[in-house]
Chain A
Amino acid sequence: MSVVQENVSPVRPRTGRAAPRPRLTPVAIVYLALVALLVVGSVLVGLRGEVLLDQAGILNILTRAAALGLVAVGQTMVILTGSLDLSVAYLIGLTSLIAAETMAGRDGMVVPGVLLALAVAAGVGLVNGLVITVLKANAFIATLGVALILRGYLEDNYTGPAGDVPRGFQHLGYDRIGPVPVAALLMLAVAAVAWWYLSRTRPGYHMYAVGGDIEVARLSGVPTRRVVVTAHVLCSVAAGLTGIYLASRLGSGAPYVGTDAGYDLESIAAVVLGGTLLAGGRGGVVGTIGGVLILATLDTIFDDLAVDPFFKDVVRGVVLVTAVALYARRMTARRARGRLA
């Protein structure tokens, strides 16, 4: 111990000064970045004589955030558990079709349509989870395989939009309270429930445990299989909710509504941008929502600035890698500090 201290004495003063400063967690970084982005964006959009955060702007950001946010909250749980879900994009298309076709324009069928879509989503999640836990397939391959199966089903049975959503159900997609869309509130409510589940309940803690080290979790008596399956079911249900929301917004179901927006990789990007470790065990829903809001704000700013849509992808890629590099740097710095102290 003393030897170690002697070795590090030159660096000591610097770490000593750094310690009292409130430590920035990834979540804090995300929201600081979001605020910075809003300020910079407002200035840039202001230079063109427009306002970023007027009623329409806020509405725009939150509407974009609602769909991605719902998927990303589910994806957060799966990633925290050390897994991954690549099947959400096709599942979103599938559930939008199921909901719209069951409703078929009848107001009385809204509830059955929603329930059926969610049940199918839960079933797909169950399959994902069981393939991973029972067949011991790598999560990447398991969910990719399920995604391909869903894609085959969609391509075989649908060529375009199908089904019809009754007018009454379109309130979910278009109603708003002030500048806040109802769907954004739904997304926030789902996020709040997920936050409570992950940080205040035993099964939620188990997810962190499994993601941190599945062997240690298993040896400490955590039912690891059940935890992984639960995470996948919840993730798929969240994707199902997204499909239902998009069906209500589009007025019908669309097979490729999820893949066109790239919700599979996009949701993973949002989760990781929000400071959750891709390997699992660290992170949370709050950061994810921040990540989603950053992506949505970026999109809105670029739209306002009339930037080439392809430029968006470039920026998004750079932002994603930069953010994760920052988190990784902080983690290693902290680990190094922990080792020295």
Chain B
Amino acid sequence: MTREAGVAARREGAACWRPRLAEGTAPVLVVLLLLLVGLAVTGPAYDEPSGYLALLKRAAPLMILAIGQYFVIVSGGFDLSVGALVTAGVVIAARLIDGDESATTGVVLLVLGFGLLVGLVNGLVTTKLLVPSFIVTLGMMLVLDGAVFLWTDGAPRGALSAGFRTFGRGSVDVPLLGEVPWSVLILLAILVAAALFMRGGTGRALVAVGDNEAAVRLSGGQVDRLRLLAFVLSGLLAAVAAILLGGFAGVSAQVGNGLEFRAITAVVLGGVLLGGGRGSVVAAAAGALSLEALFTLLNLLGVSGALESAVQGVIIIAAVAYAALGGGLRQRLRWRPKRNSTQPAPS
């Protein structure tokens, strides 16, 4: 039925062609496209692909964080601990490596393991002790912030090895494309994996948990295990982001400051519903890229850095209001074309 309609629509011409996108993806892609066009118009650096590649490289950590945050949000939770986790990852890596090149591999694995562990604790406390995830991850944020600096006596110490920093700032020669930053490759791998994961059964079940937990439970879904998985993925991806940011921006105690809210903003900008059950992971990543592109554009336009956050504030309110109110608006706009396209179908 839908396929026939689709065929009919395609026959009618390009006017009725609609790309197959998950619900809510289209607006953020439009916004992203506008921002990229804006960049191309204002910035001379954006005349060639390398400028966009640099943008993607800069956006990669936030996009990866947004993908992780997406898993948690779509299943109906919050992860406020990712910012502190990024800081913790960088500080731990710097102290353990301390400039020693041979320690790199072990420490990378350790940081990833640490992220996994933090996610596991978040998930277990949320699902087993029935504490709201907002509180659990807020507590985790306090614990991580305190514990890491307790361990390093208040200021980050040590140094990252060149090998460790390669992931964040190095690039690799890819045939056909030329020099591509490592972080972009890592980002693409994660994005593709996440998109495939969300198309599979587990991914769909995860969205269903956010939509109606009781229904999933009654139909035999492992609600607790799914939510646990979401937190573990979020922790793991935050650790990846920490490795990239450590390489890109270096060691500092502020590296993860506010990243949790920025990641949530990105996810919401991608049209993902807070409270779960709706939205796509690609849109969440696109939201993060839009946010980064927006900051770049504001920079190019000479808007003072201070106003950046005000603009960010206006935009997320607008995005959420559009998602909440736009539904009715869209339906009213779509009403006529829909009728036109259904009319010819039977004839």
Contact = CB atoms under 8 A, between A and B. Distances in A.
Interface of A: 131, 135-138, 140-142, 144-153, 155-156, 265, 268-269, 272, 278-279, 308, 310-318, 320-321, 324-325, 328-329, 332
A226 to B, nearest CB: 19
7 contacts: A137-B317, A137-B320, A145-B316, A155-B309, A156-B310, A310-B146, A313-B142
A329 B129 CA distance: 7
B344 interface: no
Given A311-B146, A320-B138, A321-B125, A144 B131 contact: no
Contacts of B147: 310, 313-314
A97 B264 CA distance: 29
A255 to B, nearest CB: 11
B321 A136 contact: yes
Nearest to B135: A324
B287 to A, nearest CB: 12
B186 to A, nearest CB: 28
B265 A152 contact: no
A316 B142 contact: yes
B106 interface: no
B131 A325 contact: yes
Contact of A310 (B154, B275, B305): B154
Given A152-B308, A152-B311, A314-B147, A278 B132 contact: yes
A144 B265 contact: yes
Nearest to A86: B261
B239 to A, nearest CB: 19
A332 B316 contact: no
A144 B140 contact: no
Contact of A317 (B134, B146, B312, B316): B146
B325 interface: yes
B304 interface: yes
Nearest to B150: A310
A279 B316 contact: no
B320 A138 contact: yes
Contacts of B145: 310, 313
Contact of B304 (A138, A140, A156): A156
B91 to A, nearest CB: 12
B130 A329 contact: yes
Interface string B245-281: 0000000000000000100110010000011000000
A148 B309 contact: yes
A141 B268 contact: yes
B307 A156 contact: yes
A155 B311 CA distance: 13
Nearest to A142: B317
A329 B141 CA distance: 23
A318 B139 contact: yes
Contacts of B304: 156
A272 B135 contact: yes
Contacts of A155: 305-307, 309
B143 A313 contact: yes
Nearest to B154: A310
A313 B125 contact: no
Contacts of B129: 321, 325, 328-329
Given A144-B261, A152-B311, A308 B138 contact: no
Nearest to A151: B309
B316 A320 contact: no
Contact of B310 (A131, A148, A265, A272): A148
B313 A145 contact: yes
Interface string B286-318: 000000000000000000111111111110110
A135 B154 CA distance: 43
A138 B139 contact: no
Contacts of A141: 264-265, 268, 274, 316-317, 320
Interface string B312-340: 11101100110011000000000000000
A321 B317 contact: no
A325 B139 CA distance: 12
Nearest to A155: B306
A90 B125 CA distance: 31
Contacts of A142: 317, 320
B274 A138 contact: yes
Given A137-B324, A310-B154, A325 B125 contact: yes
Contact of B140 (A153, A311, A317): A317
A314 B138 CA distance: 11
B139 A332 contact: no
Interface string B121-163: 0000100011110111011111101111110001000000000
